[in-house]
Amino acid sequence: MSDEKQGGGAPAAQPPAGPAGEAPQSLPPGPQAPEAPALPTFEPSEKVCGNCKLWRAHSVEVQRGWVGTCRVQANRGLFPPSAPWCDAFAPRGEAAAVKDSTPTVRARALKPIGPTVRSSGGASRQVSGPSLFPAVDPNTEIDLEGATMTRAELMELFLEASGLAEVSLAPKWEGGTVKLIPGNAALQARDIPIDGLFHKVVMIRNNLRTLEQKLNAHPKLTDAEKVELQQYITRSYGSLTTFNVLFKDKGDQFIGQKGEE
């Protein structure tokens, strides 16, 4: 009876045969994967990232051992738990307060200007705006290439051109509306908020005042030409005196030719 029949099973695997005349060689044992070392532990008093719940184990490196990442400072990449902690440290077992990285935009507070600005009508008021210069005499005259004006007049010109000057609507018109009713009753009427209308009137006034100042300071115009052009601006003021009822301060109103106010 053959060996297969005597053993009742498949024949045992034989090692591969070597070169002619040599005995068969046995296979060397295969390499075994090394076991991962245990995570290092630290005393609670140690100021290391391993005691922070934001540190999370990632993998094992040959030289540094266990390395991980931070849930808050992801830009640090992989680093060992023995690294010193940062301001975002959160002890294990406590709720982590993750800081918001969005920058907070704070509105810049405006400080009132020192000198008092006097308008063309003679009324004086304190104009709110950024504090750009120390307090000086507002009546100091400034030479602008042949044209002279006081510092207060120049400051008022700047404020009006930039829209920083405060022009108040009369209290009785606040929240009111202007109703435009067409002659044809079949057409729909239109309501315009007085606040919006007043804003447009103030913009027209500011542009006219800026034009007037530039005209008076123009170096190439003769006095006769300035007087002639000034009359058109004065007439424009006179055409807008109807809106003077909207202004709270009389010094902010339009001033046309005498008899047109």
What digits encode the pLDDT tens for the residues 38-60? 888 888 888 888 888 888 888 88
What digits encode the pLDDT tens for the residues 109-137? 655 544 555 555 555 555 454 444 556 67
Q: What letter represents residue 156's amino acid?
A: E
- Tell me the C-alpha to C-alpha distance, in Å, between residue 149 and each of 60, 127, 138, 157, 217: 78, 19, 10, 10, 9
Q: Which of 130, 131, 148 is nearest to 139 (CA)?
A: 148
Q: Is the pLDDT assigned to residue 67 strictly greater than 70? A: yes
pTM, to two decimals = 0.38
- Report how far residue 126's alpha carbon sits from residue 108's, in angstroms, rounded to the nearest whole number: 20
In sequence order, the 6+-apart residues with CB closer than 8 A to the CB of 98 are 71, 72, 88
Q: Which of 198, 199, 200, 209 is nearest to 245 (CA)?
A: 198
So what's the pLDDT on residue 5? 46
- Tell me the C-alpha to C-alpha distance, in Å, between residue 65 and each of 56, 71, 161: 14, 20, 68
Burial of residue 156 (CB within 10 Å: 0-12, 13-18, 19+) is: buried
So what's the pLDDT on residue 2? 47
What digits encode the pLDDT tens for the residues 137-184? 777 777 766 667 777 777 777 766 665 567 888 889 988 999 999 999
DSSP 139-151: T-EEEETTEEEEH
- Tell me the C-alpha to C-alpha distance, in Å, between residue 181 and each of 77, 85, 173, 202: 71, 73, 19, 24
Domain spans in the chain, listed from the N-terminal domain onward? 41-91, 110-166, 167-261
So what's the pLDDT on residue 165? 63
Q: Is the pLDDT assigned to residue 14 strictly greater than 70? A: no
Q: Is the pLDDT assigned to residue 76 strictly greater than 50? A: yes
What digits encode the pLDDT tens for the residues 229-256? 989 988 998 888 888 888 888 888 888 7
So what's the pLDDT on residue 261? 46
Please give the residue that has the higher pLDDT: either 225 or 104. 225
Q: Is the pLDDT assigned to residue 64 strictly greater than 50? A: yes
So what's the pLDDT on residue 7? 46
**Pairing outcome for strands 124-125 and 141-144:** unpaired
Find the length of the chain.
261
So what's the pLDDT on residue 4? 47
What digits encode the pLDDT tens for the residues 172-218? 998 899 999 999 989 999 999 998 898 898 888 888 888 888 888 88
Q: Which of 197, 131, 196, 202 is nearest to 166 (CA)?
A: 202
So what's the pLDDT on residue 259? 46
